[in-house]
Amino acid sequence: MRAQSIHPQPAPDQVFVVGHWYHVPCVFFPYLGYPAQWWPVIGPRHTDERIIGFSDEHFHVDIRFVTKVQRRIMDAYCEHRRDGVHTVFASPIAQRYQWSDFGPPHIPAEVPTIKRKQCKFVFPDYTAIGRWHQPLEDAYECAKMTNGICPHQGAPLYGLEVRDGVVTCPLHGLRWSLSTGELVRRTLRTEVHQRCDGELQ
């Protein structure tokens, strides 16, 4: 069998190439009630209790590297949730989450295992707006994205498509300007708003 060459992780201004093989962090998990298997993940294990109100520790699936079977599992999940493909990107791999608690008790390892995975497609833009987006944008209004890391939960923003100079974090959808590092809002500010210099507007 011909050896598959592994490509280095893309630079901040490049995207993962469909068809190429990469080293990708994975967790072994019985996701959505299916037998445990290796799921590619993006970003650190975290909770979203503050602002989003989701207290279970979880990872997010890196949809770029799922297998065809895993993609079918996730598509069925989206259909079930009835809110479209964007749910895929917000889908947590957690122990007690209502869509994930069918399998035997298991918490993914704190440090995922690196596996060889083929990039199947690029991350589509995360266009759905969840109930958490406005409070999340309010909270991160004055934050800055530096070194390609989202300041919310530390998700790596390398290898993602950039549109009009803006990159969208695939975990919870915050958008960041690549040139300034500043937040690019997509919801209206709440009425009473703290300016970044601490003054009330």
Query: In the bound complex, what is the minimum distance in angstroms from residue 38's beta carbon to ligand FES?
Result: 22
Under the binding rule (CB under 6 A), the answer on residue 155 touching ligand FES is yes
For residue 1, give every residue at least 6 positions away whose Cβ sits within 8 Å of its Cβ, in sequence order, or none.
Answer: none
Half-sphere exposure at residue 89, Cβ-oriented, CA atoms within 13 angstroms:
22
- Alpha-carbon distance of 25 to 62, in angstroms, equals 9
Under the binding rule (CB under 6 A), the answer on residue 171 touching ligand FES is yes
Q: Are 37 and 26 in contact (CB under 8 A)?
A: no
Under the binding rule (CB under 6 A), the answer on residue 175 touching ligand FES is no
Under the binding rule (CB under 6 A), the answer on residue 172 touching ligand FES is yes
Handedness of CA 170, 115, 29, 50 (dihedral sign): negative
Choice from 153, 166, 177, 186 touching ligand FES (CB under 6 A): 153
Q: What share of the chain is helix, strand, coil (3-state, %, to 5)?
A: 15, 30, 55
Under the binding rule (CB under 6 A), the answer on residue 150 touching ligand FES is yes
Under the binding rule (CB under 6 A), the answer on residue 66 touching ligand FES is no
User: Token pair for residue 87?
Assistant: 């749910």
Q: Which stretch binds ligand FES (CB under 6 A): 16-24, 67-75, 102-110, 170-178?
A: 170-178
Nearer Cβ to ligand FES, position 30 or 148? Answer: 148
Nearer Cβ to ligand FES, position 103 or 151? Answer: 151
Positions touching ligand FES (CB under 6 A) are 43, 150, 152-153, 155, 169, 171-174
